[in-house]
Structure 1
């Protein structure tokens, strides 16, 4: 049952991470700001403000 985990390679994990980053950046470019932009509900690109 757990043997399929042994077949996952580092290259597959790295490719998955790169794919996620590329998809995120593409969504930021394509979607409107209310969805993916400063204050967006899906992806918020506004810088984090630390409260004092």
Structure 2
């Protein structure tokens, strides 16, 4: 339990921010079949018809 008391709110917020930034970088850098509409790693929504 003492381990959890050592984690600060700033560390949690920084981790969430880093995850969001990493997700956006993956969406921009990876092809659509991996990170895009219908992608297997990051699905950004419905595929266009």
Q: TM-score, normalization: structure 2?
A: 0.88
Residue 20 of structure 2 aligns with which residue?
21
Over 2 Å off, 4+ runs: none
Larger Rg: 1
Q: Say yes or no: does 1:12 pair with 2:11.
A: yes
Q: How many residues align?
A: 46
Q: TM-score, normalization: structure 1?
A: 0.83
Residue 42 of structure 1 aligns with which residue?
41
Mapped partners of 1:14, 1:43: distance in 2: 22
Unaligned runs of 5+ in 1: 48-52
Unaligned runs of 5+ in 2: none
Q: Please report how far the alpha carbon of residue 5 of structure 1 lies from its aligned counterpart in structure 2 after TM superposition.
A: 0.7
